[in-house]
Amino acid sequence: MSAKAFTSLSKAMALGLLRDRTAAFFMLVFPLMFLVLFGALFKNDATARAEIVQVGRVEVFDSLPRDAREALAEVLEIRRSDDRDEALEEVRAGDVDAVVWQEGDEVRLRYSAADRVRAGNARALVDSVVQQANIAATGQPPAYELTTRRVEDESLKAIQFLTPGLLGWAVAMGAVFGSAFTLVNWRKKRILRRLRLAPVSAGTVIAARVGVSVALALVQTAVFLGVASLPYYGLELSGDWWLAVPLVVCGTLAFMSIGLVVGARAKTEEAANGAAQVVILPMAFLSGAFFPLDVAPAWIQTVSGVFPLTYLNEAMQDVVSRGQSWGAALPVMGGLLLFAAVLTAVAARLFRWDDA
């Protein structure tokens, strides 16, 4: 392989990408916009306080010690009122979550079924207060005590989950679209035919395309991690976060192979774009790039196990945010390289130098 030919081809491919402003926008800027937007939206991931209206005296609330009342105020806002009908109308209108009052020993809570999340939150909080009051009235300590804590460090923020997933999606999109469009465009403009007749080996052309795609992916990685690490977003990198680099390289090769298959069959840029979208969009949403799949239906979680982006995203989260090391990265890197080898062989069988 000629170093001069490799350099010239790499430069031509890179300049072609930069001159195509639409392609550059969707490969470089568009994914970053999601990180900036989602990072800002979920910057404060604290649970919103429930708001209820207390009508008259409610013993379980009024008899709370000062420290217990202050702790409850962090999750429950209680507003007093003397007009029950007006308070009920506020619940129907969705202005407050619930209204509570007491008749004898019975605490009555009324909520709207229009918003099940808000209603469930209010019910759970009031029920907790009532149960604690019942325990206090018996004078006996509770038989069981529940202590809760999330498995991640208390300082872990939403940006820790968003950055690896969105970066994986950006790498996948750039690799698929870049390789597919290059192949279709060069075939359409007869550049491939001229390269076939020129003293340039196919290996040199492929190496140049791989080099440009990997360089683009590494630039995306640097920009994503740099932006997410700004104090405003507060990404905290784990000790072996640098393993994201070889993961990105292997992911780029895997998704380039998908683009080569698309580019080998598509005859126009429009066809290549449509086929790439059909591949990338479902994969992005079903791989946990935008939201976790823990609460998704079982069949969706099963389908997600087919996509290479799922494993890339999980491994990226492991090394960037969860403090894991080679044990999490190596199996995924091997799987991605095997995937790339298989699809590249398929693309080679489908490849043609021109449309004739």
Instruction: Specify the pLDDT at position 155.
Output: 45
CB atoms near residue 188 (< 10 Å): 15
Please state, in angstroms and rounded to a whole number, the distance separating the CA atoms of residues 350 and 356: 14
Residue 258 has what pLDDT?
92
Asked if residue 90 lies in contact with residue 64, where contact means CB atoms within 8 angstroms, the answer is: no
The predicted pLDDT at position 78 comes to: 87
Nearest CA to 246 out of 170, 171, 158 is that of: 171
Gap between the Cα atoms of 178 and 175, Å rounded: 5
The C-alpha torsion from 318 through 322 and 323 to 325, rounded to 10°, is: -10
What pLDDT shows up at residue 253?
94
The pLDDT, as a whole number, for residue 252 is: 95
For the whole prediction, is pTM greater than 0.75? no
pLDDT for position 156? 52
Q: Is 355 helix (H, G, I), strand (E, B) or coil?
A: coil
> Other CB atoms closer than 10 Å to residue 300's CB: what's the count?
12
Mean pLDDT by 10 residues, the chain (356 residues): 69 71 73 83 64 87 80 82 88 84 86 71 79 74 55 61 90 88 81 72 73 89 92 87 95 92 85 86 85 77 89 92 90 96 87 69
Provide the pLDDT for residue 151. 47
